[in-house]
Structure 1
């Protein structure tokens, strides 16, 4: 009897998992506000092909997206690269009716928002403003409405690169696995800024107790990723083209190693962009723009250090962003300047990539994948 019940539970779980559909959300830079800006496609998890579900227009430069845990709400950086402007907006996705509808928008008090993240309780949204460098903190309602800003944290100091680092440039924002602190790579100041975070407070970011990890001068830290084991973190340095690996215990970052990405160019400005880890924690991927236009693949060793595996072309120009689906089976990269999206199938044993499909879309700057 017990064996029968156990078998039925296993079959039920299998059916629930397989009843989910895999959706891919694309954000873009719109040349005209009336153009489509956010797209939703369904990923065929057998063939890797993308089929359009819906899109939305009349929104200016929805350049970066983040999704609620259940995929119901889409939050976007909007009015990016718009002079004297900057906002965050929310949308409701209904897979049953194949619709994406606008909900709300708030000004960020900072120009050129480039990244935003939800805390693990989904009560707070924080965005990073690149130009005029700052973080903006917004409380969220359960219906996806973004409430007015409650904290705005500006930064000023720069670093040694006269062209790229005259002042601070916060490029992204991440919540720690325990939700107790936030991590904000500052490309302009060569710092990874760290703030205590308390989701139960009216002003959740503890400004007074900021700490930071200094990166190599001129390196330009851009994005960050935590390992699934919650012990390690990795920063991609855009200008230098390097990956710094850290032990991240209790919000204190201790360098494990710094790995320089192999390059075809002697350019001082490398153009590295996104950094992600496969769901099983075995492989790390980095996209590189400029003359490179590739993805560097590394295996992650038992001590958190990296071993180079391969470099794969993204088959396009300017891979600003990519995403790995929750199963780890596919990696989807957006080549923004060449207007093509490539779906790669991942070899989960070797980490290598094989193209399985391609889609043409203009100015795509962000890719997110969610099973719903």
Structure 2
């Protein structure tokens, strides 16, 4: 009898522990293109235990073409670029700040012009004093640019104080008639900012020095740029945690460039690796790339007809070894994100109007079966929030 009572008490005592062990759902912010009249910005709930994404968002916010989202480190604000320009309902490229409360509800606090067309990417400076915006500019005029927007004490964006412009390479007569700045971000140590110019086949480097001139905090680095193979079209850049190695998608070539980084932040091209399979002769479109949280694997999208996600193991020297090529379940996959558990990878498949959830093996890096596809109009960015 005593043993029965003891076992019952142990079972009851264990119940709260079992319940507490269940992972809490996390919120996923989704940016999108709004040509179809869709709201633009969505918040979904994602279950990190079973990989299920709610079929419907729990929150929407009407915003024109919020194609890229930036979370403030304290998660109290979200910055969104509106990829507007000629042909859009709103022809002015904009960046906006949204307040994010403790329940993760979003409220737009204002927008400012980025002084360029089709802003497609943005990053906060390490000290949070500025938002750097990449104006892609589909049209030849005015061409792509890098805009620097100060941030006030309340987190609101102020008008552009520095605008950097570039020259095209003209290697491709259609796609490289003007500069097309596609990405902007920082080295892990926060000392150097980089901007990729698809139209000029270059990655530009800047010393971040707001103490020298708060109005113009970016100054050319000692090695001001890295020239890439002509016509390759650099797009997105990712650094490893050490800051000694970086990886760059070459959109027009359908490749990843492996870069070494010296102590001053100068980039050196080591090698290029194909994203497409041997013998593939279709179109390419190298896109988003990200390292896994543990830095052991690199994932990079190739679109343009190939429509696969390439998985690479990262060696001790920063080199890449192909592990897998996995179909993206639709054309024009714009962005992807690995969930906080590391067991799932979500793809924003813009051309198929859906978010696809894939199983992921954290040990091998391999992507498994498709678990779910949720309909979302032209998704372009995915950002997980901390609980």
The residue number in structure 1 matching 2:188 is 177
Aligned counterparts of 1:308 and 1:258: Cα–Cα separation in 2: 13
The DSSP-based 3-state class of the residue aligned with 2:385 is strand
Counterpart for residue 109 of structure 1: 115
| TM-score for the superposition, normalised by structure 2 | 0.86
Structure 1 stretch displaced more, 102-111 or 320-329: 320-329
Unaligned runs of 5+ in 2: 1-18, 138-142
Q: Is the contact made by 2:275 and 2:302 (CA closer than 8 Å) also made in structure 1?
A: no
Q: Which residue of 1 aligns with 2:10?
A: none
2:79 to 75, 80, 97: 75
- 1:314 paired with 2:328, answer yes
Partner of 1:225: 238
The structural deviation recorded for 1:356 is 2.5
Q: Tell me which residue corresponds to 1:137.
A: 148
Superposition deviation, residue 78 in structure 1? 0.9
What residue in structure 1 maps to residue 273 of structure 2? 259
Aligned to 2:175: 164
Number of residue pairs matched by the alignment = 354
Q: Which deviates more, 80-89 or 361-370?
A: 80-89
After superposition, the C-alpha distances for 1:238-283 in whole angstroms (9 at most, x for unaligned) are 000111111112211122221122246424x511110110010100
C-alpha separation in 2, matches of 1:194 and 1:29: 30
Of 44, 54, 60, which residue of structure 2 is paired with 1:55? 60
Distance 1:173 1:18 in 2: 38
Pick aligned residue for 2:42 from 39, 44, 56: 39
Q: Secondary structure at the match of 2:236?
A: strand
Equivalent residue of 1:92, what SS? strand
Gaps of 5+ in 1: 1-14
Question: Superposition RMSD on alpha carbons, in Å?
Answer: 2.2
Q: Return the index of the structure with the highest Cα Rg.
A: 2
Superimposed CA distance per residue, residues 15-51 of structure 1 (whole angstroms, 9 cap, x where no aligned partner): 9999875321111110256x31001112111011123
**Comparing 60-69 and 304-313, the one that deviates more:** 60-69
For 2:330, what is the secondary structure of its paired residue?
Answer: coil
TM-score scaled by length of structure 1:
0.89
**Partner Cα distance (1:258, 1:314) in 2:** 22
User: What SS does the corresponding residue of 1:80 show, helix, strand or coil?
Assistant: coil
Deviations 1:323-347 (A, max 9, x none): 1234433211011011111112221
Query: Does the C-alpha gap of structure 1 residues 196 and 21 become closer, same or farther in structure 2, counting only changes over 3 Å?
Result: farther
